[in-house]
Amino acid sequence: MNEDKNHVASILFVIGIIVIVLSFGIGIVVGSTANMFFSGFVMFAALPWWMGGFIAGMLLIGFAEVIKLLHQINNKLGGRGIPGRLRAAGRIGAGSGGAGHMSGTEQIFRLLVFKYREYAFQGFLTISSEQVSIFEQNANSLVPLKKKFIDILKEDIDGGEYNHTNNGITIRFRDFEREMDSLEITTFSEKQTEDLIRVINELAALNRKEM
């Protein structure tokens, strides 16, 4: 079964299309037969069917899209989505030439989903010249809440490993909490994934330069 596809959303979408098509057909029939007092096609008799059917159909299609989006977010948070196809793998900092090119400003990557062991959460991360800081964020609150999940020093990043998939990146840090634990980071664009890999590699290269 494809868990990335929600059957309720698919059914609502199909029903919405059927409602629009049927209402258009009924409107044509009503407009064509309501000529007791008028000759030819009666537009104002067909319009209520067309407008009502279109609005009802679009509402159903809109609900289907909302359900589909919530299902995709739930899959990402629960880690139950289709496994990402591997695009690249390597060691963090390898081939960086021994010199980082990070700017002096802290870089922020937002709208991420993290999974560490069995714990999944939404949040963002910041990358400075010393470390990667990961924050949890409750965007559903009236006042968005955030709290720091962990700081990972650049010496723990250098020499780690990464897998780049079409869903994001999985990183295994060299000495993350004294183990080679994996941290899955789901991104929402290929460019965001590539930028994240580039900046993490630059941070690792900066660590080598200072050694």
The pLDDT assigned to 180 comes to: 53
Percent of the chain with pLDDT over 70: 73
CA distance linking residue 127 with residue 125, whole number of Å: 7
CA distance linking residue 10 with residue 67, whole number of Å: 9
Asked whether 129 and 102 are in contact (CB, 8 A), the reply is: yes
Across all residues in the chain, what is the average pLDDT? 77
Would you state the CATH architecture of domain 86-210?
Answer: Roll (2.30)
Q: For the chain, which residues score pLDDT lower than 70?
A: 1-4, 35-39, 73-88, 93-104, 139-145, 174-181, 211
Chain segment 163-178, per-residue pLDDT in tens: 888 778 888 776 545 5
CA distance linking residue 175 with residue 118, whole number of Å: 19
CA distance linking residue 211 with residue 31, whole number of Å: 82
The pLDDT assigned to 139 comes to: 59
The pLDDT assigned to 190 comes to: 83
- Could you list the beta-strand ranges (E) of 98-181: 107-116, 119-127, 131-138, 145-153, 161-165, 168-172
The pLDDT assigned to 100 comes to: 47
One-letter amino acid identity for 151? Answer: D
Q: Rg (Cα) of the chain, in Å, rounded?
A: 26
